[in-house]
Structure 1
Amino acid sequence: MKKLPLTAIFLLSGFLTMNAQSSNGNSIPEGFNAGSIVMPDNTTLTGYVRNNMKKNGEVIFLSPDGKKIKYTATQVSSISIDNNHYIVANNAFYKVVTDGAKIKLLRKASNASGIQYNGSEPIVLDAGEGSYDDYFIQTVSTKKLQLVRKKDFQKVFTSACSDCTTLTDDLKANKLGFAEIEQAVALYNACEK
């Protein structure tokens, strides 16, 4: 009679251990998300990425073989983490909010300045203008970034999108404000006149 409960406990513990091992083998490590990094030479690293952009201006890449490597904005061209895409400009990470054929809407995702060394001489790298979470528009043809703050929204968009009279008329008539920044970018990218 005592053998039956002992055998049941043994079989149950073996089953639970086997189930825990099989479910752990395919899981994403804690704090990491599936992602890829495009390097300056256009090679792509695929694995898992921990987003530390806001905290200290870097990401941690975990390769499939388990190696962890830290990358700063000066070392990569772009990063994809889950469904979010980040580009690098002016030594900082920018999240692509809206992609388009004419302009992109970006949001600053890091603000950490960096230090690089030229031999033993430290060189401070500025993270560019604007603060964390500020909006920027980037002209696709020139790659130029332009800071867009609430107080300057109408002026910046009227100037940058001057070839789209539909959009500039809506801006001047106050039909579009800073809260509709994503809509303004989409309208400009779809605009033919």
Structure 2
Amino acid sequence: MSEQHEAIWAALPEGLEPEGYPLRRAFLLEHVDPGPPAPTVLDVGCGEGWFSEALREAGADPVAVDVAAEALRRAERRVPGLVTRLWAHDEPLPLDDNSVDVVWAGEVIEHVADIAPWLSELRRVLKPRGTLLLTTPHVGRAALLGAALSKRRFAERFEPRSDHVHFLAPSTLGPLLDDLGFDVAEMTLAGGRPLARETILVRAVRA
């Protein structure tokens, strides 16, 4: 799998803004208290480090992890001095228990083959009552209907060569987080049209 991720990153031009970046950046920074002391924020699936850069500028102390070494190299160039860790999802996170204040996982969970152990690792490294901030594409009934009405949007959403392996809605994501030791404090839909929102925004607390 790591070879696949490295190939994906090698094919991507450097400097591409993450999809939905303004919306997701605003959600992230709204829920990160810059301190002092500066909170430690784990940027899961950091990519080129756009969100780590925003966190650093806001006064937080980001730690960036990704499955691809090329992504981490780009993140280190974007954010000099950034602490980075390579993480294969079938292995433990290379961080201590109860070591971060916030976990940020923007548009990552839908790529993870085995979600339960992945979420358990995020919970393990969070401090008690630490915050999980998560975004993922919305695939609820209205979103599906909206996609179905547009052949282009439907094809994009369900492209068979996509690396999305899960399609989530609040009705499935909420119980999953509850089962794995998180108290969901906030779950909202954003982006797209009022009856066909495209993104789920989640704030949860380690129970």
TM-score normalized with structure 2 length = 0.23
What's the TM-score, normalizing by structure 1? 0.24
RCO (CA 8 Å, sep 6+): is it higher in 1 or 2? Answer: 2
Structure with a larger share of its residues in helix? 2
Larger radius of gyration: 1
